[in-house]
Amino acid sequence: MGCGPCVWDALRMAGWRAGHTVTTGDWTRQLTAAGFELNDVAVGIWAEFGGLTIKSCPARAPASSLCMDPVDACIDTAAEAASLKLRYGENYSPLGTWSVQFRSYVAAGGRVVAVGPNVLWSLGSTFAEALVYVVYGDGGVDRAEQADWLGNCLTGR
């Protein structure tokens, strides 16, 4: 993974180490039962980073984090993932929560997005890019995209 030293530090502070693995069977069963089509990219990321909360470096403003718990973040959002698939033509599986409040998903092709009420943020075209963005930011560039097509402004989440 092509990440800078602060990303590696953030991963270690979150509890990650080389060879870190998480059993994903419970997440897979729960999310499949909730109506999700899961992709292999997501399951692979869960296996290595599941359960971790990766936080930004102190210099990043505003602070950011990525909490890697797909069930807690997205168990009731299968329709939202289906909207992402319809819009972008590939499967989006739950990843976790970005910055405490926004659901995050990863596409079968690797793209990571976060979703809020009628808004979508592109966190990175790969999980490694998303980690770099979470930890370092990108100098204040606004990654928010109006996404009225999501139809999620009244989801209560």
pTM reported for the whole predicted model: 0.90
Q: So what's the pLDDT on residue 59? A: 84
User: What's the chain's average pLDDT?
Assistant: 90
- Give the model confidence (pLDDT) of 45-73 as tens digits: 999 999 999 999 888 888 899 999 999 99
Sheet strands side by side (includes 102-107): 53-55, 65-67, 92-98, 102-107, 112-116, 119-124, 144-146
DSSP string, 65-91: EEE--HHHHHTT-HHHHHHHHHHHSS-
| Residue 157 pLDDT grade (very low, low, confident, very high; cuts 50, 70, 90) | very low
- Give the model confidence (pLDDT) of 17-26 as tens digits: 989 899 999 9
Judge whether residue 35 has pLDDT over 50: yes
- Give the model confidence (pLDDT) of 67-119 as tens digits: 999 999 999 999 999 999 999 999 999 999 999 999 999 999 999 999 998 89
80: its two tokens: 């939202």
- Give mean pLDDT, residues 11-38: 95
Query: Which residue ranges make up each domain of the chain?
Result: 5-150
For residue 58, cis peptide bond before it (omega within 30 degrees of 0): no
Cβ-contact 39, 112 below 8 angstroms: no
Task: Give me the helices (H) in the chain, please.
Answer: 5-14, 25-33, 40-49, 70-74, 78-88, 127-136
Q: So what's the pLDDT on residue 137? A: 87
* Distance of alpha carbon 94 from alpha carbon 73, whole angstroms: 8
